[in-house]
DNA sequence: AGTGGCACCTGTGTGC
DNA sequence: TGCACACAGGTGCCAC
């Protein structure tokens, strides 16, 4: 479900309710996500939420008793509900707050992640975060940086853009969209992409992700922000999910090819 | 070292 | 209607 824009929209949504609140109760489901949920999360009862941040597709909730690292996987959502609303199927984690609200993590496929980071430990040093590449909105994310990262890569440029050691936050939807806007064939080996093309990619990664955040993300099946509102960027998608439909530029039918076991959409005429 | 393949899960849509 | 199968927004490990 979530790529960077959806995670950012979710983070902004729960931030309004979580910031400066006190956690009165922690619910920990029995089923394991990507990793089992630590019972130490219970230590956060009574903690005051000090800060929310996002790194790649991870949300970090910092409190005065430790931090939580959250990942939504493929099918995870965070929802804000009143304190007394019952848990439902696939709710695996919840924070109940002193302001009468609660945050629920619902994740049918259980590819998500909830980690407890003790006070004094830096969540950014966690193994899931420590080896991540630059954020796309980092000023250091430039054409020269991207070119350097991919110059020896034989994998397709599409897979390279989704590689979290190249740049973070670009998932399967936005990789196709960015390549379309950059007029680059997703099947090309990454090492054939020129510096000028890297400039286009950097520009379009930033603009597509920003635009999607502004639109509340992309709702394909069931994504919604923490407030329940869907994302409207789906209306702006040019190629993703558009197999057989006319290219918005040249009207050629959009193609779908599998790269790295993921569906990839492109215009065979516009993208070289 | 870099890369492709696959595993981790459940839900939904499609075609027979 | 029922069933089998393909596919879904991510990530990390494993064998080459």
Q: What pLDDT was estimated at residue A228?
A: 85
| Residues of A annotated catalytic, as ranges | 2-3, 57, 262
Using the predicted structure, report yes or no on whether residue A205 has a pLDDT greater than 80: yes
Burial class, A88, CB count within 10 angstroms (exposed 0-12 / middle 13-18 / buried 19+): exposed
User: Is residue A214 pLDDT above 80, yes or no?
Assistant: yes
Give the least confident one: A55-59, A133-137, A219-223, A249-253. Answer: A219-223
Confidence label for A240 from pLDDT (cuts 50, 70 and 90) = very high
CA pair distance A114, A231, nearest whole angstrom: 24
Per-residue pLDDT, A204: 98
Residues 58-97 of chain A within 7 A of strand C, judged by CB, are 58, 71, 73-74
Which nucleotide's C1' is closest to A89 (Cα)? B10
Task: Give pLDDT tens digits for A130-183.
Answer: 999 999 999 999 999 999 999 999 999 999 999 999 999 999 999 999 999 999
Scanning every strand, the nucleotide with its C1' closest to A174's CA turns out to be C9
Write the pLDDT tens digit of every residue in A226-238. 888 889 999 999 9
pLDDT computed for residue A1 by the predictor = 66
pLDDT above 80 for A211: yes
How high is the mean pLDDT of chain A? 96
| Residue A36, pLDDT score | 97
Q: Is the CB of A110 under 7 A from strand C?
A: no
Whole-number pLDDT of residue A229: 85
pTM of the entire predicted model: 0.97
**Nearest residue, CA→C1' of B11:** A108
Task: Please give the average per-residue pLDDT across A23-32, as a whole number.
Answer: 98
Answer whether residue A80 shows pLDDT above 80. Answer: yes
Instruction: State, as a whole number of angstroms, the distance between the CA of A271 and the C1' of C16.
Output: 32
Q: What does the H/E/C string look like for chain A?
A: CCCHHHHHHHHHHHHHHHCCCEEEEEEECCCCCCCCCCHHHHHHCCCEEEEEEEECCEEEEEEECEEEEEECCCCCEEEEEECCCCCCCCEEEEEEECCCEEEEEECCCCCCEEEEECCCCCHHHCHHHHCCCCCCCCCCCCHHHHHHHHCCCCCEHHHHHCCCCCCCCCCHHHHHHHHHHCCCCCCCEHHHCCHHHHHHHHHHHHHHHHHHHHCCCECCCCCCCCCCCCCEHHHHCCCCCCCCCECCCCCCECEEEEECCEEEEECCCCCC
Confidence of residue A224 (pLDDT cuts 50, 70, 90): confident
Percentage of chain A surpassing pLDDT 70?
Answer: 100
What percentage of chain A reaches a pLDDT higher than 90? 95
């Amino acid at each position: 479900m979530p790529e960077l824009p959806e995670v950012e929209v979710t983070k902004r949504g729960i931030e309004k309710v979580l910031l400066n609140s006190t956690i009165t109760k922690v619910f920990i489901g029995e089923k394991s996500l990507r990793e089992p949920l630590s019972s130490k999360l219970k230590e956060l009862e009574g903690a005051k939420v000090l800060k929310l941040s996002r790194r790649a597709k991870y949300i970090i909730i910092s409190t005065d008793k430790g931090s939580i690292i959250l990942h939504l996987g493929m099918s995870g959502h965070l929802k804000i509900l009143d304190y007394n609303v019952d848990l439902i199927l696939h709710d695996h984690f919840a924070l109940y707050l002193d302001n009468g609200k609660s945050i629920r993590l619902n994740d049918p496929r259980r590819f998500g992640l909830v980690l407890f980071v003790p006070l004094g430990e830096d969540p950014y040093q966690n193994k899931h975060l420590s080896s991540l590449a630059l954020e796309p909105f980092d000023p250091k994310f430039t054409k020269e940086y991207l070119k350097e990262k991919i110059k020896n890569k034989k994998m397709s440029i599409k897979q390279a853009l989704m590689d979290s050691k190249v740049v973070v936050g670009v998932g399967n939807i936005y990789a196709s969209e960015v390549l379309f806007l950059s007029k680059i064939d997703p099947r090309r080996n990454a090492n054939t992409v020129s510096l000028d093309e890297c400039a286009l990619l950097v520009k379009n990664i930033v603009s597509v992700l920003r635009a999607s955040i502004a639109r509340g993300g992309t709702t394909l099946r069931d994504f919604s922000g923490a407030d329940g509102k869907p994302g409207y960027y789906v209306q702006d998608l040019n190629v993703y999910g558009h197999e057989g439909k006319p290219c918005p530029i040249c009207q050629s039918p959009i193609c779908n090819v599998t790269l790295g076991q993921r569906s990839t959409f492109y215009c065979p005429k516009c993208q070289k």
